[in-house]
């Protein structure tokens, strides 16, 4: 079980609490909506960070496994292994290259994450359902080798 | 109708009198005065250029902005070669009057410190023979601030978007379409909330309240300079106590034509407007499988309302 599950539970709990505050009229509804938008960004970025960690671990596993082969290909993998610090987009490609649609979607999510972290942007419409997004990431990492 | 007659702009006149067409990212934006701007001088039909799309405004080369910039009644002419290379273009009026213009592109509104810096820049550069202006485009909340030297001091004037559109090989998507979608959303919400109010009439312990609002400020609205809207929240009260709230969350979502969250004592449920259903209407998304939709009708509503 990855930390993404806990993150999803935390997100559901926090947004439920905020929603209940709205229902009970406990605070200004406009303020609560703003807080909700910030919570969504925070959890989106956190979940992607946790996913990134698992992608790196999985990709490094693939690289190490292939580099251990005493073949010509193995030598190429060894060079990659020694290079270290491969950009995340390359690692995503390494793992998800057989599903180009999924790969594109993950690359888009990474761009959204970067825009939120470095560009002070709000979540665009395609990223609004954060709970669903985290669940999707969790389903992907379930298939990783552990 | 505007109370004053609009005249073609001239660099010698205050910049606020001008109308300027700029391509910002994938959008064409006509900037002008927020009042008395007269008829909009540029239109999607006559002034669109179809350009390769850029991922975001930040990825747009400045050359693209300069190349497609238009100013009503004025010409953009080649910048004379200078030793210090300041300025991006020269604006020439019908009488031959010229202004040297430096373009700046930012995401946010200017800070006080930046305004001071711009004022100093204009004051230092401006001469009688070569008047200068700094045009500062803001992409987040579309605006164009022009800093110029007028009557012995630097003035910062802000032009607002008069129209915004995107031109693609498939046609034009303009601000009017966004405004229409927002108006349609407000209407659909009003109809929906009336329906809920009608459902609860049969139960005397229940009542509705629509005094609270949420601010609708979606990405597409910001991109097309559509002002924020205040949308009502529908509160359902049971013996005067909060029992449920219908909160409009988004119009532009993937796979549906709007989302309202129904918050009850038992949790939050997502309602989406299925415009492709027959008939189109509100559907309830399954709590565990969001893509699984079922009809949202009176029995469903009361079941959710009564669940603890």
Instruction: Kindly identify which residue of chain B lies nearest to residue A111, measuring between CA atoms.
Output: B55
Say if the Cβ atoms of A23 and B219 lie within 8 Å. no
Partner residue opposite A29 with nearest CB, options B212, B220, B268: B212
Contacts of A128 in chain B (CB under 8 A): 249-250, 253
Q: Is B116 on the interface with A (CB under 8 A)?
A: no
Contact state of A23 with B233 under an 8 Å Cβ cutoff: no
Would an 8 Å CB–CB cutoff place B247 in contact with chain A? yes
CB of A20 less than 8 A from some CB of B: yes
Distance from CA of A145 to the nearest CA of B (A): 26
Secondary structure letter of residue A126 according to DSSP? G
Q: What is the pTM of this model?
A: 0.80
**Would the CB atoms of B233 and A22 count as touching at under 8 Å?**
yes
Q: Output the CA torsion sign for B45, B47, B50, B54.
A: negative
**B265 neighbourhood in chain A, CB within 8 Å:** 23
As for the ipTM of the complex, it is 0.74
Would you call A128 and B253 a contact, using CB atoms and an 8 Å cutoff? yes
Asked if A16 lies within 8 A of B267 by C-beta distance, the reply is yes
Instruction: Report CA-CA distances (Å) from A20 to A15, A29, A128, B221, B261.
Output: 8, 11, 19, 28, 12
> Which of B214, B219, B263 has its CB closest to that of A20?
B263
Of A22, A30, A129, the CB nearest to B245: A22
Does A142 reach chain B within 8 Å, measured CB to CB?
A: no
pLDDT string in tens for chain B (308-residue length)? 333 333 445 566 778 889 999 999 899 999 999 988 889 999 999 999 888 888 777 777 788 888 899 999 999 987 777 657 888 999 998 888 899 999 998 888 899 999 999 999 999 999 888 899 999 999 878 999 999 998 889 999 999 999 999 998 889 999 999 999 999 999 999 999 999 999 999 899 999 999 999 999 998 999 999 999 999 999 999 999 999 999 999 999 988 999 999 999 999 999 999 999 888 999 999 887 778 899 999 999 999 999 86
CA–CA gap between residue B273 and residue B255 (Å, rounded): 9
């Amino acid at each position: 079980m990855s930390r993404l599950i806990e993150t999803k539970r935390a997100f559901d709990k926090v947004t439920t609490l905020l929603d209940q505050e709205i229902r009970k009229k406990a605070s200004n509804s406009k303020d609560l909506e703003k807080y909700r938008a910030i919570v969504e960004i925070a959890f989106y970025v956190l979940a992607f960070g946790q996913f990134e960690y698992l992608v790196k671990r999985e990709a490094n596993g693939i690289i190490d496994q292939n580099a251990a082969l005493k073949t010509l290909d193995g030598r190429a993998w060894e060079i990659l292994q020694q290079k270290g610090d491969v950009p995340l987009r390359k690692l995503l490609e390494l793992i998800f290259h057989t599903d180009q649609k999924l790969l594109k979607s993950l690359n888009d999510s990474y761009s959204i994450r970067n825009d939120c972290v470095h560009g002070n942007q709000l979540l665009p419409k395609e990223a609004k359902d954060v709970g669903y997004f985290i669940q999707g990431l969790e389903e992907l990492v379930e298939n990783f080798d552990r | 109708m505007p109370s004053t007659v609009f005249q073609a702009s001239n660099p010698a006149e205050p910049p606020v009198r001008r109308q300027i067409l700029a391509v910002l990212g994938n959008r064409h934006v006509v900037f002008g005065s927020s009042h008395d701007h007269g008829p909009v001088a540029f239109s999607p039909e006559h002034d669109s250029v179809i350009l390769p799309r850029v991922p975001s405004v930040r990825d747009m080369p400045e050359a693209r902005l300069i190349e497609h910039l238009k100013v009503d009644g004025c010409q953009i002419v080649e910048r004379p070669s200078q030793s210090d290379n300041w300025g991006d273009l020269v604006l020439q009026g019908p009488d031959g009057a010229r202004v040297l213009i430096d373009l700046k592109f930012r995401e946010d509104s200017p800070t006080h410190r930046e305004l001071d810096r711009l004022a100093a820049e204009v004051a230092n550069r401006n001469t009688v023979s070569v008047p200068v202006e700094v045009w500062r485009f803001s992409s987040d909340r579309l605006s164009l601030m022009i800093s110029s030297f007028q009557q012995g001091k630097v003035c910062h004037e802000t032009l607002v978007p008069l129209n915004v559109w995107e031109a693609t090989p498939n046609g034009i998507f303009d601000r009017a379409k966004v405004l229409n979608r927002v108006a349609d959303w407000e209407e659909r919400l009003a109809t929906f909330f009336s329906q809920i109010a009608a459902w609860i009439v049969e139960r005397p312990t229940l009542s509705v309240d629509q005094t609270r609002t949420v601010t609708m400020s979606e990405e597409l609205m910001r991109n097309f300079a559509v002002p924020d809207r205040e949308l009502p929240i529908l509160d359902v009260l049971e013996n005067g106590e909060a029992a449920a709230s219908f909160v409009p969350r988004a119009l532009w979502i993937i796979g549906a034509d709007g989302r309202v969250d129904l918050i009850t004592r038992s949790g939050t449920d997502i309602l989406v407007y299925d415009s492709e259903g027959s008939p189109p209407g509100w559907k309830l998304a399954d709590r565990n499988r969001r893509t699984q939709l079922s009809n949202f009708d009176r029995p469903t509503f009361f079941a959710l309302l009564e669940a603890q």
